[in-house]
Structure 1
Amino acid sequence: MSGLNQLGRIGIAAEHVIIALFLSMVFNLTYNHLREFGHAILKSKYDIMFGNVYYLLRKYVVILGTVIETQLVICIINTGLMVIGLWIIGVPKLLLMAIIVFVLGLVPVAGVLISLTPLSIVAFSANGIISIAEVLCLVILIHFFGSYFLHPRLMAGATDLPVFVTFITLIIGAKMLGTWGLIVGIPTVAFFIDLLGIQLKQHHPRNPKEVIESEIE
């Protein structure tokens, strides 16, 4: 029964991926029509309401995109450090290990734990139990470096939040929402700070009307 449940979850995940790819294809093929449709909504009878909604959604998506881009940079750095460490230890098949570490590294926290299984198997087949212990120590070191130094520092730079605020946000987000808290916690805090008009950088804020007019042009 446990195995059937796992297969069901894999099937649901595969279904979501297929639907996402299909919708992405439809979105790209009909982008111009969708753009015209969106502009028509912004110029409708209730343009003020739709304009404010568009402004808020656009702001959140931009912040979320910045956070995801930063997460990719963190993942690339962690993968590079892991490959160097595996090379020093003497673990073979570095290209395959790099792909596994990079893909699983996109999943906060849980990805590190999941990657231990293939890394341990390859390390054991190469050099025995000693290599497993070395891989475990390497993963722990890189995980602590990424979680407590690299991740807060880069996220703070991407969102202009202080490192301490970023660190606290990650902890609270993980406690409240688990993995999703690590993904959406920082952009949510940055969004509300920007929404409240707290300027972390010296620049001139743009009102919703100016943003919408520039997008339409």
Structure 2
Amino acid sequence: MVLGTFIVSFIGNSFVQNAQESQLVQSLLPTQPMRRQVLVLMYFFMILGIFTLLGVLTIPDIAREGADFVNRLQSDNIWVILVEKMRRGVGDQVMTSLEKAVYLATSNDIAAAALQEPQVWSAERSTQLGLAVSSMLKGYTSTAAKYTGLFLKSVAKFSLQALVSLILGFLFVWDMPTISRGMSSLATSRLAPVYNEVAPMLLVFGQLFGKALQVQAQIAVVNTALTAAGMWLLAIPGMGLLSLFVFLCSFIPIMGCIISTIPIGFVALTEYGFVKLAMIIVMVAMVHFVEAYALNPAIYSAHLKLHPLMVLSVLLIAEHNAGVWGLLLAVPSTVFALDYVIRYPDHSVREVGERELSVIKKQPKATASQDVPQSDDGPGGSPTALKPALQGS
């Protein structure tokens, strides 16, 4: 909810600030306070309209597809279907070897009898092997069904949190000038030493994280649209639920691609077999190739100068220690820490922030000696000098 409020507020405030500079808006709404209030109302009415439209069109399908997915996970027949698909894909000889391994792992009388009497492949033999696999993986299947059910139940909770985030975001954006003046007044209060030390870092990191989320949100929308189009062309069932999962995973750099592909591949394998699974893998690879080299030219590895191996390492550590919050905050935090602590130890926070913001906006990097004006307040910079530079970005 906190993250949602931040995203809604940041994007909304950026939209209002940019729209206020439009000559058309200035001619229609000459009064500054009224202009901002009308733009804020337009922004949030647009969000509510989009959510309402998506809810009416997709929520019934997502609920139905999710319930069907849970039922299929809890059904023994799914393993029979999977065995038959595997046999057609790898052949009888390879499947016979796999059958022996499964029966040896089960260690029961029926398995021993089946191993002693080789038979030609038939529907009965596939059913028997499917039931054996089901008995082996029963615990894992129940766990998968349990977590899928929990995911579906969390949709209502997520919707409520999104509504609260919208309300809080509306209040923040509506009263942002007053909030900004109140925060700036801390520079002349008894908390001035703490404010002067903490405010620059928080302001730079907030701008950096917000800009990264803006770019990632645009990429997530296009990535979801391309993946949904690919699933539609390949006739993959459950496209609504899978597309929602792809969209959410698109905010996780690098690992989101792997996570979102697993349920799509599982559905393709159980419905059509290995050929369709291979086609899904090719389709996903093409989508993420477009994402990496056309939509998002390595935003986390090239633009932010962070090696993909470091991205993966940071994400694994952050997920283990902080969960979803860690996955979302790991990369911006690492970039900020590397730049401020290691790469540019002699630069102020303002200079480091302007470097990163110029990279995210695909502008040439500013150099500390030429393009970035030096601060008179020492290496830490001044919050009052920092705000105009970042707001101008």
Query: What is the rounded CA distance, in whole Å, between the counterparts of 2:316 and 2:287 in structure 1?
Result: 16
1:184 partnered with 2:329: yes
Higher mean alpha-carbon deviation, 59-68 vs 35-44, is at 59-68
Deviations 1:144-203 (Å, cap 9, x if unpaired)?
9859x9489331234222333223323333344343332111111112112315139662
Instruction: Summarize the Cα distance change of 1:211–1:170 in structure 2 as closer, same or farther, 3 Å threshold.
Output: same
Distance change in 2, residues 1:9/1:102 (3 Å): closer
Alpha carbons of 1:72 and 1:139: their partners in 2 closer, same or farther (altered >3 Å)? farther
Amino acid at match of 2:301: A
1:103 and 2:247 equivalent? yes
Matches within 5 A, 1:72-151: 72-90=217-235, 100=244, 103-106=247-250, 108=252, 109=256, 112=260, 116=264, 120=267, 129-130=271-272, 134=276, 138=280, 142=284, 146=288, 150=292
**2:173 pairs with one of 14, 28, 42:** 28
8 Å contact 2:242–2:264 — kept in the other structure?
Answer: no
Query: After the TM superposition, which segments of 4 or more aligned residues of structure 1 sit over 6 Å from their partners?
Result: 2-8
Q: CA deviation at 1:40?
A: 0.7
Asked whether the 8 Å contact 2:224–2:247 carries over to 1, the reply is: no
The farther-off stretch of 96-105 and 23-32 is 96-105
| Cα distance, 1:48–1:184 mapped onto 2, change above 3 Å | same
Which stretch of structure 1 is more off in the superposition, 2-11 or 163-172?
2-11
Q: CA deviation at 1:57?
A: 0.9
1:18 aligned residue? 163
Partner SS for 1:160 = coil
Note the C-alpha offset of 1:33.
1.2
Report sequence identity in percent. Answer: 15
Instruction: State the TM-score, normalizing by the size of structure 1.
Output: 0.67
Which residue identity does 1:104 align to in structure 2? L
- Whether the 8 Å CA contact 1:104–1:115 is kept in 2: the answer is no
Distance in 2, matches of 1:14 and 1:97, equals 15
Partner of 2:317: 172
User: CA separation of 1:17/1:75 partners in 2, compared to 1, >3 Å: closer, same or farther?
Assistant: closer
Secondary structure of 2:343's aligned partner: coil
Q: Distance in 2 between matches of 1:216 and 1:197?
A: 26
Partner SS state of residue 381, structure 2:
helix
Select the residue among 41, 46, 58 that pairs with 2:186: 41
CA offset digits 1:39-76 (Å, max 9, x no partner): 11122233232122111111221222233234324424
Does structure 1 residue 203 correspond to structure 2 residue 367?
yes
Q: Secondary structure at the match of 1:203?
A: coil
Find the residue that maps to 1:209 and give its secondary structure: coil
Segments of structure 2 that go 5 or more residues without pairing to the other structure are 1-145, 345-354, 356-364
Structure 1: gaps of 5 or more residues: none
Q: In the aligned structure 1, how far is the partner of 2:230 from the partner of 2:322? A: 32
CA distance in 2, matches of 1:6, 1:164: 30
**Counterpart-to-counterpart distance in 2, 1:97 and 1:56:** 39
After superposition, the C-alpha distances for 1:98-146 in whole angstroms (9 at most, x for unaligned) are 96365334464497269649x94xx89xxx9228962685158627985
* SS of corresponding position for 2:384: helix
Decide whether aligned partners of structure 1 residues 171 and 93 sit closer, same or farther in structure 2, where only a CA change above 3 A counts: closer
Q: Which has the larger radius of gyration?
A: 2
- Are the structure 2 counterparts of residues 137 and 104 from structure 1 closer, same or farther at C-alpha, using a change threshold of 3 Å? farther
More displaced stretch, 196-205 vs 154-163: 196-205
Contact 2:200 2:383 in 1 (8 A): yes
Residue 213 of structure 1 is matched in structure 2 by 385
1:155 to 280, 300, 307: 300
Report the AA paired with residue 387 of structure 2.
Answer: E
